[in-house]
A and B are shown apart, each in its own frame.
Chain A
């Protein structure tokens, strides 16, 4: 059961451009929405996360936009750099009564060309 759908599967952006990755979820019980960055041979690492009562969160060049009514959220990477080339996963986490269980999207492979 695909509860979190992520797109696109892959993305190529020029250095300095904006990278946008989208996710959609189905279960309204999800209570927290983190994004992870994964480099080859490494485990995922938390990049940025948002609560459902906030429409936008920005940390440096990374911004999450959240649309609760549409059950969609997206990651924007401003001024993309070659070092941002990695696989990005969105996730949706259930509330505390469900032990904070996370469901991940299938990932987006980002390539930033110099």
Chain B
């Protein structure tokens, strides 16, 4: 079974530029998550989708971050404009459903460096 795919793996941008990350979840997984993992910290949930609807985006900085999951499969996370403090690894995860005990499978992440 193929895992969660993410691209690009690495991205370096200047502050105030925009950037987009792509995620392809495991086939058949209805729930998709985007996490931000700052160096030395645990993953922090940014947004959670159930199929193509948003379940939770309470920690998404909506003035600069946006995400979409068209057709309930692939998802894109965008940052515009980027700030220095956005430097982090952005992890995508998916699960069969949003039950607490549904295992979340993580992709390898995209490491973003904002200069």
Whether, in the assembled complex, B106 has its beta carbon less than 8 Å from a beta carbon of chain A, the answer is yes
B50 interfacial by beta-carbon distance below 8 Å? yes
**CB within 8 Å of A: which of B77-115?**
91, 93, 95, 98-109
A49 touches B101 (CB 8 A): yes
Given known pairs A95-B100, A96-B98, the reply for A101 and B42 (CB within 8 Å) is: no
Contact of B42 among A31, A32, A46, A105 (CB under 8 A): A105
Q: Of residues 29 to 57 in A, which have CB atoms within 8 Å of B's CB atoms?
A: 31-32, 41-46, 49, 51
The interface residues of chain B lying within 8 Å CB-to-CB of A101 are 45, 48, 56
In the complex the two chains form, what is the Cα distance from A109 to B42 in whole Å? 12
Chain B residue numbers with a CB within 8 Å of A105 are 42
- 0/1 per residue, B24-68, Cβ < 8 Å to A? 000000010000000011111100101000011000000000000
B4 an interface residue at 8 Å Cβ cutoff? yes
Q: Which residues of B contact A49 (CB under 8 A)?
A: 101
Contacts of B91 in A (CB 8 A): 43-44
Which bucket holds chain A's interface residue count? Answer: 20 to 34
CB pair B100–A43 under 8 Å, yes or no, is no
Contact A102 B45 (CB under 8 A): yes
CB pair A104 B43 closer than 8 Å: yes
Q: Which of B102, B103, B107 is within 8 Å of A43, CB to CB?
A: B107
Contact partner, A100, options B41, B98, B107, B109, Cβ 8 Å = B98
B positions within 8 Å CB-CB of A = 4, 31, 40-45, 48, 50, 55-56, 91, 93, 95, 98-109
Name A residues whose Cβ lies closer than 8 Å to a Cβ of B. 4, 6, 31-32, 41-46, 49, 51, 89, 91, 93-96, 99-107
25 contacting pairs across A/B (C-beta < 8 A): A6-B42, A32-B100, A32-B101, A41-B108, A43-B91, A43-B93, A43-B108, A44-B106, A45-B106, A46-B105, A96-B98, A96-B100, A99-B48, A99-B50, A99-B56, A100-B95, A100-B98, A100-B99, A100-B101, A101-B48, A104-B43, A104-B44, A106-B42, A107-B40, A107-B42
